[in-house]
Amino acid sequence: MIALPGGRRRWRFHVCALMLLVPIGFAPGYFQRLDLEGGAVGLGEREIGVLRLGRWKARLAELDLGPPVIEGAAGPIKTFTLALEGAAIDEVRAAYAKIGEPRSIRSAGALFAGAPYRQMAGVAAPETATGDSELWLTFEGWDGSIEQTSLPLADASPSTVAWLAGRRRR
Protein backbone atom coordinates (compact mmCIF):
# COMPACT_ATOMS: atom_id res chain seq x y z
CA MET A 1 0.00 0.00 0.00
CA ILE A 2 1.23 3.45 -0.78
CA ALA A 3 0.47 6.08 1.79
CA LEU A 4 -0.49 9.24 0.00
CA PRO A 5 0.98 12.40 1.36
CA GLY A 6 -1.85 14.36 2.95
CA GLY A 7 -0.27 17.70 2.35
CA ARG A 8 3.28 18.85 1.78
CA ARG A 9 3.74 20.54 5.13
CA ARG A 10 2.21 17.80 7.21
CA TRP A 11 4.24 14.93 5.89
CA ARG A 12 7.47 16.87 6.10
CA PHE A 13 6.75 17.26 9.74
CA HIS A 14 6.07 13.55 10.02
CA VAL A 15 9.44 12.67 8.50
CA CYS A 16 11.32 14.71 11.08
CA ALA A 17 9.14 13.46 13.91
CA LEU A 18 9.79 9.89 12.81
CA MET A 19 13.54 10.36 13.15
CA LEU A 20 13.21 11.99 16.54
CA LEU A 21 11.32 8.98 17.85
CA VAL A 22 14.42 6.78 17.83
CA PRO A 23 16.47 8.77 20.37
CA ILE A 24 13.35 9.63 22.38
CA GLY A 25 12.75 5.92 22.78
CA PHE A 26 16.27 5.43 24.09
CA ALA A 27 16.39 8.59 26.23
CA PRO A 28 14.90 7.09 29.45
CA GLY A 29 17.43 4.25 29.31
CA TYR A 30 20.25 6.73 28.66
CA PHE A 31 19.40 8.85 31.70
CA GLN A 32 18.72 5.77 33.83
CA ARG A 33 22.17 4.42 32.92
CA LEU A 34 23.82 7.76 33.79
CA ASP A 35 22.03 7.80 37.17
CA LEU A 36 23.09 4.22 37.78
CA GLU A 37 26.72 4.84 36.89
CA GLY A 38 26.86 8.14 38.76
CA GLY A 39 25.35 6.65 41.91
CA ALA A 40 22.26 8.91 41.91
CA VAL A 41 20.01 5.88 42.47
CA GLY A 42 22.14 4.46 45.28
CA LEU A 43 24.76 1.76 45.34
CA GLY A 44 23.04 -0.30 42.64
CA GLU A 45 19.68 -1.48 41.42
CA ARG A 46 19.62 -4.22 44.03
CA GLU A 47 21.30 -3.98 47.42
CA ILE A 48 22.55 -7.39 48.53
CA GLY A 49 23.34 -6.43 52.11
CA VAL A 50 26.03 -5.56 54.61
CA LEU A 51 29.24 -7.58 54.62
CA ARG A 52 31.50 -7.98 57.63
CA LEU A 53 35.08 -8.99 56.99
CA GLY A 54 36.98 -9.06 60.28
CA ARG A 55 36.85 -5.50 61.61
CA TRP A 56 35.75 -4.11 58.25
CA LYS A 57 32.25 -3.37 57.06
CA ALA A 58 30.95 -2.80 53.55
CA ARG A 59 27.73 -2.82 51.55
CA LEU A 60 27.38 -4.86 48.36
CA ALA A 61 24.93 -4.41 45.49
CA GLU A 62 24.25 -5.54 41.95
CA LEU A 63 24.86 -2.55 39.67
CA ASP A 64 21.88 -3.58 37.55
CA LEU A 65 19.28 -6.30 37.76
CA GLY A 66 20.04 -7.65 34.33
CA PRO A 67 21.92 -10.84 33.48
CA PRO A 68 25.70 -10.86 32.88
CA VAL A 69 27.00 -9.16 29.75
CA ILE A 70 29.19 -11.19 27.40
CA GLU A 71 32.55 -9.44 27.04
CA GLY A 72 34.12 -11.13 24.05
CA ALA A 73 36.43 -14.04 24.83
CA ALA A 74 36.28 -13.19 28.56
CA GLY A 75 32.72 -14.53 28.56
CA PRO A 76 29.82 -13.45 30.77
CA ILE A 77 30.62 -10.65 33.24
CA LYS A 78 28.38 -9.50 36.09
CA THR A 79 29.01 -6.10 37.67
CA PHE A 80 28.80 -5.61 41.44
CA THR A 81 29.19 -2.39 43.39
CA LEU A 82 30.73 -2.03 46.82
CA ALA A 83 30.72 0.74 49.42
CA LEU A 84 33.37 0.60 52.13
CA GLU A 85 32.11 1.93 55.43
CA GLY A 86 33.70 3.49 58.52
CA ALA A 87 37.29 2.50 59.18
CA ALA A 88 37.40 0.39 56.00
CA ILE A 89 37.40 3.58 53.86
CA ASP A 90 40.96 4.39 54.88
CA GLU A 91 42.18 0.94 55.89
CA VAL A 92 41.27 -1.23 52.89
CA ARG A 93 43.79 -1.04 50.06
CA ALA A 94 41.95 -3.31 47.64
CA ALA A 95 38.74 -5.34 47.44
CA TYR A 96 38.24 -8.30 45.11
CA ALA A 97 35.32 -10.51 44.11
CA LYS A 98 35.32 -13.95 42.51
CA ILE A 99 32.81 -16.72 41.98
CA GLY A 100 34.35 -19.78 43.64
CA GLU A 101 36.92 -19.77 46.43
CA PRO A 102 40.22 -18.13 45.42
CA ARG A 103 43.18 -20.42 45.90
CA SER A 104 45.48 -17.52 46.74
CA ILE A 105 45.46 -13.72 47.05
CA ARG A 106 46.92 -13.63 43.56
CA SER A 107 43.72 -15.10 42.13
CA ALA A 108 41.29 -13.20 44.35
CA GLY A 109 39.39 -12.21 41.18
CA ALA A 110 38.13 -8.90 39.86
CA LEU A 111 39.46 -5.78 41.56
CA PHE A 112 36.93 -3.17 42.66
CA ALA A 113 37.76 0.14 41.00
CA GLY A 114 36.68 3.60 42.04
CA ALA A 115 36.45 5.66 45.20
CA PRO A 116 35.94 3.75 48.48
CA TYR A 117 32.41 5.16 48.72
CA ARG A 118 31.33 3.32 45.60
CA GLN A 119 33.50 0.98 43.57
CA MET A 120 32.67 -1.47 40.83
CA ALA A 121 33.99 -4.82 39.70
CA GLY A 122 33.03 -6.94 36.72
CA VAL A 123 33.07 -10.52 37.96
CA ALA A 124 33.45 -13.41 35.54
CA ALA A 125 30.46 -15.77 35.75
CA PRO A 126 31.69 -19.30 34.94
CA GLU A 127 29.34 -21.35 32.78
CA THR A 128 29.26 -24.04 35.49
CA ALA A 129 28.20 -21.73 38.35
CA THR A 130 24.87 -22.45 40.08
CA GLY A 131 22.91 -20.88 42.94
CA ASP A 132 25.01 -22.92 45.36
CA SER A 133 28.25 -21.44 44.00
CA GLU A 134 29.78 -18.89 46.32
CA LEU A 135 30.70 -15.29 45.64
CA TRP A 136 33.95 -14.69 47.51
CA LEU A 137 34.94 -11.22 48.68
CA THR A 138 38.58 -10.61 49.61
CA PHE A 139 39.70 -7.40 51.34
CA GLU A 140 43.35 -6.50 51.57
CA GLY A 141 44.41 -3.84 54.08
CA TRP A 142 47.05 -1.17 53.60
CA ASP A 143 48.87 -2.98 56.41
CA GLY A 144 48.92 -6.17 54.32
CA SER A 145 46.27 -8.04 56.30
CA ILE A 146 43.67 -10.08 54.41
CA GLU A 147 40.03 -10.82 55.29
CA GLN A 148 37.55 -12.92 53.34
CA THR A 149 33.87 -13.73 53.32
CA SER A 150 31.50 -15.49 50.96
CA LEU A 151 27.81 -15.67 50.18
CA PRO A 152 25.74 -17.93 47.93
CA LEU A 153 25.47 -16.70 44.34
CA ALA A 154 21.70 -17.18 44.67
CA ASP A 155 21.74 -14.35 47.22
CA ALA A 156 24.32 -12.24 45.40
CA SER A 157 22.68 -12.31 41.97
CA PRO A 158 19.52 -14.33 41.30
CA SER A 159 19.48 -12.99 37.74
CA THR A 160 22.94 -14.46 37.06
CA VAL A 161 21.91 -17.85 38.46
CA ALA A 162 18.74 -17.90 36.34
CA TRP A 163 20.59 -16.79 33.23
CA LEU A 164 23.35 -19.41 33.60
CA ALA A 165 20.74 -22.14 34.19
CA GLY A 166 18.91 -21.04 31.06
CA ARG A 167 22.11 -21.24 29.02
CA ARG A 168 22.88 -24.74 30.23
CA ARG A 169 19.41 -25.95 29.23
CA ARG A 170 19.98 -24.80 25.68
Q: Which residues within the stretch 105-144 sit at the binding site for another protein (CB under 8 A)?
A: 105-122, 124, 128, 141-144
Query: What are phi and psi for residue 59, nearest 5 degrees?
Result: -110, 140
Nearest to 153 by CA among 138, 140, 136, 165: 136
Please say whether the beta carbons of 153 and 165 come within 8 A. no
CB nearer to another protein: pick between 120 and 154? 120
Query: Cβ of residue 131: shortest distance to another protein, in angstroms?
Result: 20
Answer yes or no whether residue 10 interacts with another protein by CB under 8 A: no
Q: Binding residue for another protein (CB under 8 A) from 45, 47, 57, 100?
A: 100
Between 102 and 131, name the residue whose CB sits nearer to another protein.
Answer: 102
What's the closest the beta carbon of residue 107 comes to another protein, in angstroms?
5
Among 15, 132, 169, 170, binds another protein (CB under 8 A): 15
In 3-state terms, what secondary structure has residue 32? helix
Comparison of 90 and 166: residue with beta carbon closer to another protein: 90
Q: Does 65 bind another protein (CB under 8 A)?
A: no
Q: Among residues 47, 37, 48, 118, which one has the least CA distance to residue 85?
A: 118
**Contact range with another protein by CB under 8 A, out of 23-31, 45-53, 146-154, 160-168:** 23-31
48 binds another protein (CB under 8 A): no
Cα-Cα-Cα-Cα dihedral sign, residues 70, 121, 96, 112 = positive
Strands (E), 40-156: 46-53, 56-62, 69-70, 76-85, 92-99, 110-111, 119-124, 134-141, 146-152
Binders in 71-90 for another protein, by CB under 8 A: 71-75, 77, 79, 83, 90
Residue type, 45: E
